[in-house]
């Protein structure tokens, strides 16, 4: 083998390495994006809270005029009524807050649904910590069932001062990978 | 060469025969520059645009000036012998540094304006804007008022069978109405694909993303009608889902809300009454023109295979097809362009349009669907 | 050496020869011809679009077909015309410029080329499939391209995969060639700028093509296997698609311009008869553009609702990337300054490149300003911007390169008079097409619409006119190339008096095999970075 061929072979190995690295990087981008979003609120997804975060957020409870607004939406073709019991509330910043939502399955079949949350402005989302939420798991709505569910959340004390109004929106969707129930729902 | 000229001429002359005399159109304040708009922010954005534009023109004049001067001054016939220099660290540092300074000068006002745009706090009216293929839905949060806003330009104008109006493609059946002098916050989301809600004169453009919520705001100073369009490609009728915003006085705004509430009441009441076939056909024709005819065509002939014909459709001439027919309209057909209208249309609308489809264009199923039936199918009150 | 044994025996004749060739010059020609064909296919689609937009109202085609045309036009021009043209030029010229007998991996070279006709045959065939071809724009944003896409989308994804593999293999070959096959004595800082810009481009390709492959694979999974990467209803995130796409997409736009910088950096000194000003800073500027290009992707997403801090970061980085870009333009002009300039056709195209690319760069700076971008985004202003950098920019540089190297390829000068006619018609046509788009965009016309409000009518009519002038005048390019292959004024080994580089030391036309013995290279005398 000539020196040139050895060189070419070495370059090939190095480039294959780079290629593999980029493939791994691409795959890793999906979870990395989630982590990045948790920290920065990039995609406006509210955070689920662990103990440390809870303690940190609770450290300093303060009185400031914050408006928390709830928006509910139903995904296309889902025969469900979904309402927030309060359109808005004034939460305690640095403390626990609670509110309720109702679901009503208007069809005569059972439905498996998932609720997708989103927060605006995105800079608020790292500071809205959910302790208890119906959006954590998928949920069965029996035919004709009317269900009340609770949300317990905490507004972190570090919420930037310029944020005076936060909107928390929920969209309820059928769970597509549960064929028996979902098929009916989307018809 | 001859054939090239020939082709060009044919191509140039051909449309002249087709063209009807068109209106002048409306514009957003300028036909070739960014609009100044009608809000403090839109004016700020406009002046930012004019500043950076002026800087860019100045840079272009200097750069192209030096370039063309060199091209003329040092053309071969004037300068037989070229110089030998080929680098100069001082010059190179200089022309790296100068652009940096210019860019910083642009970034400072841009940052200030952006911060203002991001301050959506203390709004007095909140509107939830939802994008649908291909219409907008407006919901006044806390007011219990919501409605859809559809393109109102007739299909004949789009197909060049009728002279186009000045507001061609920029007009809707129900504009969004907002009070002037009031901070209005828009919360945006989408029902299906990504859309983008844009009104140039308000300098508001924000994407409506399914499952996510975005926000933006405006404070309009002058009463008037401000138009815009969906800015993000959202499928077949992306060009046909305009935005129309009507800014009115606070009093008129309250009247508008009251009137909308009354209208909704009346609608609800009408759902429990028995409709005559004529009433249903009349309403159905309207609904069909707004929601269905773009795909299924005004005469129900469809555009197969993508959009099936409704005229002569088996489901619509045989009584046994009724149930399936209603379900299709309510829930759509997955994997196709056919959306479900359960959410979009009222029970009366759906009853009317189904009745219309079963009795128009030679379809003779003869049956009549009452809003009540639809409500029952939807599992009670909708 | 293996390569010598390989071309020792007789090459097969007829079409088999082209199918099996491993010769860098023949493969280079194949790439260039393929790209030329795609230029016309994509061009016809553009003319269909412009014909529909000649006047308000729907005249010729339906919206769904219009959307397929804009999508296909973009995909074909980006992946089928511009990129393969650069690879073709790289195949022809890199071995000649570094004194190598061939590419490092000749058989791989053959394979990467033949993947392209397969990929684009497949892509074009989707137009005849049920539900039509891709109709979601060349940026194929989810969920329009997943949940709401036509059934042919899986084939679209497959064709992107194949084209992507072709690009990666081509890039690997180019890097391996440049790193290992330079003639003895040639250091990296002795290489021509075309070789340098291609080296950096090849690294960009290896880095971002896997990201594109990843993102289309996720689409495929979402469409066919029930995952929810981009589907909000399943807990996924449509905005993630855009982050991934533009993480690939922004470097991709530089992939389409860096080799153009290289070509222009060779042509301008040749016809100014003066060495390139600032060779080193050109190399550094190219490298910094490449690195910065990974940090600006979200400037395509200013309206999706990012947090303020992210908007500011991407605005500043985007403005920063304009600095090295500016350095390049200044260096070219300093090269012209006090030169002895003549205006042969390659030089005309290169000069037009500089002016028109700068216009595109300046509108790029305007687009970087977030509050203003709220008004520009997704309008014809953006269409004007990227066409200025890509058509009168990258494409003009490619055409300049073709006129510049045709004598080396064919042994004949291309016709000067036809070339000038081609040039002037192209300049007039291209500016008539794209300059008015700045105005229609500022006045508020969204992009990707088959029909528009009356206020935009005048500028659209001008754009359509210009497009037909530009499109039809490219027939002249075909004629010039055809005639130049057939004959013309014979060209000597070095057809351009001011040219430098090893490619001009071999005869014209370049024989099939060159530099079987490495040429002598004396950095003191031959290097573009010599004192
Ligand atoms: C000075 C350098 C440049 C700057 C600052 C710049 C900036 C930008 C910005 C901010 C956008 C997004 C606009 C929007 O969608 O609202 C954009 C779009 C684009 N730019 Fe540039 N750009 C530059 C150079 C280039 C070059 C060299 C190319 C390619 C050769 C290029 C190709 C594109 C393309 C293809 C798009 C649009 C993609 C799409 O949405 O379809 N740009 N540019
Ligand atoms: Cu749209
Ligand atoms: Cu970019």
> How would residue B20 be classed by pLDDT, with cut points 50, 70 and 90?
very low
Tell me the CA distances in angstroms from A156 to A32, A46, B323, C306, one per residue in order.
23, 12, 52, 20
The band of A151, judged by pLDDT with boundaries at 50, 70 and 90, is confident
pLDDT category at B168 given cuts 50, 70, 90 is very high
Q: Is C293 a catalytic site residue?
A: no
Task: Kindly determine whether residue A121 and residue B215, on different chains, have CB atoms separated by under 8 Å.
Answer: yes
Q: Is residue C222 part of a domain?
A: yes
Question: Which atom of ligand 1 approaches the CA of C325 most closely?
Answer: 1
What is the pLDDT at residue A176? 62
A114 contacts in chain C (CB < 8 Å)? 233-235
**Stretches in chain C below the pLDDT threshold 70:** 1-12
Q: What is the model's pLDDT at position B19?
A: 44
Which chain B residues in 247-276 lie under 8 Å from chain A, judged by CB atoms? none
CA distance linking residue B234 with residue C135, whole number of Å: 10
ipTM: 0.91
Find chain C residues with C-beta within 8 A of A44's C-beta: 305
Residues C59, B160: Cα–Cα separation, whole Å: 8
C10, part of any domain: no
Residue nearest to atom 33 of ligand 1 (CA): C386
Q: Which of A5, A45, A121 sits opposite C2 (nearest CB)?
A: A5
- Among C138, C281, C448, C500, the active-site one is C138
Q: Which position has the token pair 């990012």?
A: C306
Q: Which of C52, C222, C252, C344 is catalytic?
A: C252
Residues A79, B121: C-beta atoms closer than 8 Å: no
Q: Is the CATH number of domain B271-378 1.10.760.10?
A: yes
> What residues does B343 pair with on adjacent strands?
none
Q: Do A163 and B342 touch (CB under 8 A)?
A: no
Output A54 or B75, whichever has higher pLDDT: B75
Q: How far is CA B343 from CA B130, B148, B346, C345, in A?
A: 12, 10, 8, 63
Is B332 part of the contact surface with chain A (CB cutoff 8 Å)? yes
Find the catalytic residue in C24, C25, C300, C422. C300
pLDDT at A179 over 50: no
Nearest residue in C to B237, CA atom:
C63
- Judge contact between C310 and A36, C-beta under 8 A: no
Query: Would residue A83 be called left, alpha or beta, if left means φ above 0 and alpha means ψ between -120 and 50 degrees?
Result: beta
* Ligand 1 center to C362 CA (angstroms): 10
Please tell me the total count of domains within chain C.
1
Could you tell me if the CB of C137 is within 6 A of ligand 1?
no
- DSSP letter assigned to residue C131: T
Residue A3 near residue C268 (C-beta atoms within 8 A): no
C7 is a domain residue = no
CATH architecture entry for B125-267: Sandwich (2.60)
Chains that touch B (3 or more CB pairs under 8 A): A, C
Q: Which fold has domain A65-186?
A: Ctag/Cox11 (Pfam 04442) (2.60.370)
- Surrounding ion ligand 3 within 5 Å at CB are C 250
Cβ proximity of A88 and B142 under 8 Å: yes
Cβ contact, residue pair C306, A2, below 8 Å? no
Confidence bin at B344 (pLDDT 50/70/90) = confident
Task: Please report the pLDDT score of residue B14 as a whole number.
Answer: 47
DSSP C509: S
Higher pLDDT, A118 or A40: A118
Provide the shortest C-alpha distance from residue A12 to chain C (in Å). Answer: 7
What is d(CA C209, CA C249) in angstroms, rounded to the nearest whole number?
9
Owner of token pair 């219409």: B135
Q: Give the distance (Å) from ligand 2 centre to CA of residue C383.
A: 16
Q: Which domain does C113 fall in, by range? A: 30-526
Active site residue C252: yes
How many CA atoms lie within 13 Å of B165's alpha carbon, on the beta-carbon side?
11
CA-closest candidate to residue B339, choices A187, C154, C188, C355: A187
Q: Which residues of A touch B197 (CB under 8 A)?
A: none
The predicted structure's pLDDT at residue B22: 59
pLDDT band at B276 (very low <50, low <70, confident <90, very high): confident
- Secondary structure (3-state) at C520: coil
C191, C243 Cβ separation under 8 angstroms: no
Q: From the CA of A10, how many Å to the nearest CA of chain C?
A: 9
CB contact under 8 A, B380 and A79: no
Q: How many CB atoms are closer than 10 A to CB B101?
A: 8
C107 is known as an active-site residue: no
Residue C267's CB is within 10 A of a number of other CB atoms, namely 29
The whole-number pLDDT of residue C372 equals 96
Q: Is residue C13 part of a domain?
A: no
A80-118 tens-digit pLDDT: 888 888 888 888 887 788 888 988 887 778 888 888 888
CB pairs under 8 A between A and B: 81
**Structure-block tokens of residue C16:** 């088999």
Q: Is C253 in the pocket of ligand 1 (CB under 6 A)?
A: yes
Q: Check CB contact under 8 Å for B235 and C475.
A: no
Tokens of A126: 């790292």
Q: Of the bound ligands, which one is closest to the alpha carbon of residue C251?
A: 3
Q: Name the residue with higher pLDDT: B189 or B337.
A: B189
Query: Are C321 and C250 contacting, i.e. CB atoms less than 8 angstroms apart?
Result: no
Closest Cα to atom 32 of ligand 1: C386
Give start and end residues of each alpha helix (H) in C337-395.
Answer: 345-368, 370-376, 380-389
Per CATH, domain B2-117 is 1.10.287: yes
C17 within some domain: no
pLDDT number for residue A59: 55
| B126/A contact by beta carbon, under 8 A | yes
CB environment B48-65: b (16+ within 10 A), e (fewer): bbebbbebbeebeeebee
Q: What's the whole-number mean pLDDT along residues A26-36?
A: 83
> Atom 19 of ligand 1 has which residue's CA nearest to it?
C386
Of the candidates B4, B168, B198, which has its C-beta nearest C56's C-beta? Answer: B168
| Closest residue on chain A to B143 (Cα) | A87
CA dihedral (C470, C472, C477, C481) in degrees, to 10, reads: 170
C301 alpha carbon, closest ligand: 1
Residue A42 in this model has a pLDDT that exceeds 80: no
In angstroms, the CA C8 to CA C498 distance is 36
Residue C368: CB within 6 Å of ligand 1? Answer: yes
Q: How many CB pairs under 8 A join B and C?
A: 314
Alpha-helix runs per DSSP H in C14-152: 14-20, 24-52, 63-75, 83-98, 106-125
More confident residue, A148 or B186: B186
With the most atoms of ligand 1 within 8 angstroms of its CB, the residue from C252, C385, C394, C448 to mutate is C385
> Is C73 a known active-site residue?
yes
pLDDT at C43: 96
Measured between CB atoms, which of B119, B212, B379 is closest to A108?
B379
pLDDT at B318: 79
Q: Token pair of B232, please?
A: 């993000």
Cα angle, residue B293 at apex, residues B289 and B294 outer, rounded to 5°: 120
Ligand 1 contact via C365 beta carbon (within 6 Å): yes
Rounded to a whole number, what is the distance in Å from the CA of C203 to chain A's nearest CA?
A: 9
pLDDT at B269: 80
* B3 pLDDT more than 50: no
Ligand minimally distant from the alpha carbon of residue C364: 1
Domain ranges in chain B with CATH number 2.60.40.420:
125-267
Could you give the residue range(s) of every CATH 1.10.760.10 domain in chain B? 271-378
Match 């220099």 to its residue by tokens. B85
The CATH code of the domain that includes C400 is 1.20.210.10
Is C385 a catalytic site residue?
no
Contact C312 B114 (CB under 8 A): yes
Contact A79 B210 (CB under 8 A): no
When pLDDT is averaged across residues B221-245 and rounded to a whole number, the result is: 94
Interface of A with B in 134-163 (CB under 8 A): 144, 162-163
Q: For chain B, where do the domains classified as CATH 1.10.287 start and end? A: 2-117
* Per-residue CA distances from B227 to B189, B203, B250 (Å): 20, 11, 20
Average pLDDT of the residues of chain A: 78
- When pLDDT is cut at 50, 70 and 90, the band that residue B363 belongs to is confident
Q: Ligand 1 pocket test: pick from C71, C242, C263, C300 the residue with the most ligand atoms within 8 Å of its Cβ.
A: C300
Highest mean pLDDT among B23-32, B330-339, B341-350, C117-126: C117-126
Instruction: Encode pLDDT of C101-145 as tens digits.
Output: 999 999 999 999 999 999 999 999 999 998 889 999 999 998 999
Res A174: pLDDT: 83
* pLDDT for the residue numbered A66: 83
pLDDT of residue B9: 47
Q: Is C114 one of the annotated active-site residues of the chain?
A: no
Among the options C50, C328, C387, C408, which is catalytic? C328
* Residue C167 appears among annotated catalytic residues: yes
- pLDDT, tens digit, for every residue of B146-163? 999 999 998 889 988 889
Contact between C67 and B212 using a beta-carbon 8 Å cutoff: no
């Amino acid at each position: 083998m000539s020196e040139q061929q050895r060189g070419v072979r070495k370059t090939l190995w190095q480039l294959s390495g780079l290629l593999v690295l980029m493939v791994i990087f691409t795959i890793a981008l999906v979870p990395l994006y989630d982590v990045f979003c948790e920290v920065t609120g990039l995609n406006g997804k509210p955070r689920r809270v662990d103990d440390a975060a809870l303690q940190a957020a609770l450290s300093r409870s303060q009185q400031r005029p914050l408006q928390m607004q709830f928006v509910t939406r139903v995904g296309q073709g889902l025969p469900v009524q979904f309402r927030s019991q309060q359109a808005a509330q004034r939460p305690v910043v640095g403390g626990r807050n609670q509110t309720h939502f109702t679901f009503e399955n208007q069809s005569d079949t059972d439905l498996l649904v998932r609720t997708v949350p989103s927060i605006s402005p995105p800079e608020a989302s790292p500071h809205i910590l959910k302790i208890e939420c119906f959006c954590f798991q998928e949920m069965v709505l029996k035919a004709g069932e009317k269900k009340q569910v609770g949300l317990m959340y905490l507004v972190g004390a570090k919420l930037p001062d310029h944020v005076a109004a936060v909107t928390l929106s929920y969209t309820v969707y059928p769970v597509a990978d549960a064929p028996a129930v979902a098929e009916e729902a989307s018809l | 060469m001859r054939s090239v000229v020939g082709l060009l001429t044919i191509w140039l002359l051909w449309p002249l025969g087709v063209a009807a005399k068109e209106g002048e159109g409306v514009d957003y304040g300028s036909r070739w520059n960014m609009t100044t708009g009608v809000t403090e922010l839109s004016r700020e954005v406009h002046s930012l645009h004019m500043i950076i534009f002026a800087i860019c023109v100045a840079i272009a004049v200097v750069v192209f000036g030096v370039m063309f001067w060199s091209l003329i001054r040092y053309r071969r016939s004037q300068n037989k012998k070229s110089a030998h220099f080929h680098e100069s660290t001082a010059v190179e540092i200089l022309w790296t540094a100068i652009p940096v300074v210019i860019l910083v000068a642009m970034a400072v006002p841009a940052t200030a304006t952006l911060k203002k745009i991001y301050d959506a706090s203390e709004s007095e009216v909140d509107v939830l804007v939802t994008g649908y293929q291909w219409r907008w839905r407006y919901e006044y949060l806390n007011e219990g008022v919501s409605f859809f806003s559809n393109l109102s330009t007739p299909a004949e104008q789009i197909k060049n069978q009728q002279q186009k109006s000045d507001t061609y493609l920029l007009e809707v059946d129900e504009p969004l109405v907002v009070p002037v002098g009031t901070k209005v916050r828009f919360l945006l989301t989408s029902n299906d694909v990504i859309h983008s809600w844009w009104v140039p004169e308000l300098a508001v453009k924000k994407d409506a993303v399914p499952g996510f919520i975005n926000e933006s705001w405006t404070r309009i100073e002058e009463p008037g009608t401000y138009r815009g369009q969906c800015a993000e490609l959202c499928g077949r009728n992306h060009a046909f889902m305009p935005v129309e915003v009507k800014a009115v006085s606070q009093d008129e705004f309250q009247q508008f809300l009251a009137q909308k509430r009354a209208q909704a009441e009346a609608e609800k009441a009408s759902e429990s009454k028995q409709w005559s076939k004529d009433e249903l056909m009349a309403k159905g024709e309207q609904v069909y023109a707004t929601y269905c005819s773009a795909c299924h065509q005004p005469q129900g002939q469809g555009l197969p295979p993508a959009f099936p014909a409704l005229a002569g459709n088996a489901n619509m001439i045989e009584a046994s097809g009724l149930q399936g027919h209603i379900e299709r309209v309510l829930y759509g057909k997955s994997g196709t362009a056919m959306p479900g209208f359960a959410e979009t249309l009222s029970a009366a609308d759906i009853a009317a349009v189904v009745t219309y489809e079963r009795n128009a264009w030679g379809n003779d199923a003869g049956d009549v669907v009452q809003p009540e039936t639809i409500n029952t199918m939807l599992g009670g009150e909708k | 050496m293996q390569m010598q044994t390989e071309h020792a025996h007789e090459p097969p004749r007829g079409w088999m020869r082209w199918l099996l060739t491993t010769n860098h010059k023949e493969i280079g020609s194949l790439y260039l011809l393929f790209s030329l064909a795609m230029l016309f296919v994509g061009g016809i689609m553009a003319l269909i679009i412009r014909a529909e937009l000649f006047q308000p109202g729907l005249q010729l085609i339906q919206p769904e077909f219009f959307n397929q045309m804009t999508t296909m036009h973009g995909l074909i021009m980006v992946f089928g015309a511009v990129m393969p043209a650069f690879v073709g030029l790289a195949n022809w010229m890199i071995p000649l410029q570094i004194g190598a007998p061939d590419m490092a991996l000749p058989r791989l070279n053959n394979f990467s080329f033949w993947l392209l006709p397969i990929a684009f045959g497949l892509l074009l065939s989707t137009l005849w499939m049920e539900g039509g071809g891709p109709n979601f724009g060349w940026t194929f944003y989810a969920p329009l391209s997943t949940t709401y896409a036509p059934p042919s989308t899986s084939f679209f994804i497959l064709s992107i995969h194949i084209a992507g593999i072709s690009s990666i293999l081509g890039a690997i070959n180019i890097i391996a060639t440049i790193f290992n096959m330079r003639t003895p004595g040639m250091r990296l800082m002795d290489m021509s700028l075309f070789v340098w810009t291609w080296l950096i481009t090849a690294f960009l390709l290896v880095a971002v093509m896997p990201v594109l492959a990843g993102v289309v694979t996720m689409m495929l999974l979402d469409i066919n296997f029930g995952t929810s990467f981009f589907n909000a209803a399943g807990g996924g995130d449509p905005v993630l698609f855009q982050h991934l796409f533009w993480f690939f997409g922004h470097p991709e736009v530089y992939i389409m311009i860096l080799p153009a910088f290289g070509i222009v950096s060779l042509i301008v000194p040749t016809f100014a008869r003066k060495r390139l000003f600032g060779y080193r800073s050109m190399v550094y500027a190219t490298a910094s553009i490449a690195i910065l290009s990974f940090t600006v992707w979200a400037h395509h997403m200013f309206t999706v609702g990012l947090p303020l801090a992210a908007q500011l970061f991407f605005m500043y980085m985007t403005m920063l990337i304009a600095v090295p870009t500016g350095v390049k333009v200044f260096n070219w002009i300093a090269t012209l300054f006090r030169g002895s300039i003549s205006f042969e056709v390659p030089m005309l195209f290169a000069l037009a490149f500089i002016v028109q690319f700068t216009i595109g760069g300046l509108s790029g700076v305007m687009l970087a300003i977030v509050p203003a971008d709220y008004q520009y985004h997704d309008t014809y202003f953006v269409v004007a911007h990227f066409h200025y950098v890509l058509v009168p920019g990258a494409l003009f540089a490619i055409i300049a390169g073709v006129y510049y190297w045709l004598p080396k390829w064919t042994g004949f000068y291309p016709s000067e008079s036809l070339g000038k006619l081609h040039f002037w018609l192209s300049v007039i046509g291209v500016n008539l097409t794209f300059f008015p788009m700045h105005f229609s965009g500022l006045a508020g016309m969204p992009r990707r619409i088959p029909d528009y409000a009356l206020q935009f009518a005048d500028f659209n009519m001008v754009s359509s006119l210009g497009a037909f002038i530009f499109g039809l005048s490219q027939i002249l390019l075909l004629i010039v190339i055809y005639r130049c292959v057939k004959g013309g004024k014979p060209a000597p080994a070095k057809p351009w008096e001011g040219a430098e580089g090893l490619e001009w030391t071999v005869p014209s036309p370049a024989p099939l095999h060159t530099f079987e013995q490495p040429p002598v290279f004396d950095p003191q005398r031959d290097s573009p970075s010599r004192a």
